[in-house]
Every structure is written in C-alpha cells, then in structure tokens.
Amino acid sequence: MIEVVAKLGRGPVFLAGEMLECVITFTNPLSVSSTSASSEMLAWASAQIHCQFHASENRVALPPSDGSKPDVQAENETVFVPNRGERGQCILSTPPKILFCDLRLDPGESKSYSYCETLPIDGPPSFRGQSVKYVYKLTIGCQRVNSPIKLLRVPFRVLVLHGLKDYQCPQDEAVAPSNPFLEEEEGLKKDSRLADLATELLMAATSRRSLRRSLLLKHAILTYM
C-alpha cells in the first residue's frame, strides 16, 4: 500500500494566468519493524489539470450529441484519463506532466515531487449553479505494473478578472534569456505582478462604482429639493 498526499502551495483559489504549485508526497506507511513490511513499487505517476462542465438537462437545452463513438481510452483503466468517471464534459485540460517513473519506496520511506502549471488565461471561471457547473481539478494518477490506474483529485477554484488577459510582460523581461535555475523564481514574480494588477483593476472598478453611486445620490437629492 502507498499513501499519496497532495498539498497546494498557497490555498485553493487562483487567478486565471497564475501558476499553480502542488507538492505531491508518496509514502510507504508500513513500519520497518512490521512483520509484513516490504518495499513498494510504482511504475509511474503523472499530473494534469482539467475543467469539467456539467449542465442540468432539466434546465439547459444542450445541442444534440454528434453520435460519435465513446472514447476507448476513457474506458481503459491502463490509460491516464484525468476526468474518467466524471459527469459532464472536459472543456479544458493542460498537457500531462510525468512526476516519475519506476519509484521504489522502502517501509517508512517518503518521496515528494513538485508539480507546477500555469492556469490558462482564457479558461472559464469556476462556477457552481443550479443549471451549470464549471469545476477545476488537479488529478494525480499512478500505477503499479499490471494494475489499474489510481486517481487522486484535488479541487480548486479559478477566478477570471477582465483586463488580465491583456496584460503583457515588460519588454526587457520578455526578451531575457531563459535560465532553468530561475524559472521558479520568475514564475513567482509573474504571479506577484498579476496579483498587483488584479488589485489595481478591482480598486479602479470599485472607485468608478462608488463615484457613480455618489453622483446618482446627489442627483436624487437635488431632484427632491
């Protein structure tokens, strides 16, 4: 038996365009002193983000099905399909990333792997209504040799703020040479800039709304007088 624990770096809420970071830990929980203690082997593990869309058939008139044949891979338990068994349609997915191949864990041993992925800027926001739902999940799949794939799903929320899609990196940063040792640091800097820009956009929208409300209130007072 192997225990898998996934922990998001800074909570379950993200802006579209931000980088999601998750630490995934694989543990052999058996004690070394246990009489049944033995090493555990995993052939591979991968991770992928997807957004699942579901609509209530009683409330929403969906277009007719194209009548295509079902995806054979979705029914094959030896193929990594993150949305296997979920209701609705997968409308967005990131490329799968391999965490490892051929992992051996001795009794009591743990190994952690970091998964990082930038959330698509053009994806829909998370939404849970009575008629439609848009749900984002990070799915980790792992498999023993000659065994079915096991899936662990981590739900999270994505917020879409109008104006962020037009955000561009400064010119000097866009043409800077890439350094694999600084990719994580650059990702954190970009997230910080996105957060600052989101704050500015929200403050601007709030200020305009407050000004408009004050003008309407002033007009109403003048009209009454």
Domains of the chain: 3-61+70-159 (2.60.40.640)
Does residue 137 carry a pLDDT above 60? yes
Mean pLDDT of 146-160: 92
Determine phi and psi for 193, rounding to 5 degrees.
Answer: -65, -40
- CA 136 – CA 15 distance, rounded (Å): 12
Mean pLDDT of 44-53: 95
Mean pLDDT of 201-213: 59
User: Which of 24-33, 58-67, 128-137, 195-204 is modeled with the greatest confidence?
Assistant: 128-137
Q: 115 or 178: whose pLDDT is higher?
A: 115
> Among 102, 142, 101, 96, which residue's Cα sits nearest to residue 115?
96
Q: At a CB cut-off of 8 Å and minimum separation 6, what does 82 contact?
A: 48, 49, 50, 90, 93, 96, 137, 139, 141, 151, 153
Q: 119 or 1: whose pLDDT is higher?
A: 119
**Per-residue pLDDT at 195:** 65
Q: HSE on the CB side for 129, CA within 13 Å?
A: 11
Does residue 175 carry a pLDDT above 80? no
Position 153, amino acid: R
Q: How much of the chain, in percent, has pLDDT values that exceed 90?
A: 38
Q: What is the model's pTM?
A: 0.71
Q: How much of the chain, in percent, has pLDDT values that exceed 70?
A: 63
Q: At a CB cut-off of 8 Å and minimum separation 6, what does 123 contact?
A: 16, 51, 92, 136, 158, 160
> Among 83, 85, 84, 88, which residue's Cα sits nearest to residue 54?
88
Mean pLDDT of the chain: 77
Does residue 13 carry a pLDDT above 80? yes
- CA 205 – CA 210 distance, rounded (Å): 9
Does residue 170 carry a pLDDT above 70? no
Q: At a CB cut-off of 8 Å and minimum separation 6, what does 39 contact?
A: 28, 104, 105, 106, 107
Does residue 75 carry a pLDDT above 80? no
Does residue 184 carry a pLDDT above 90? no
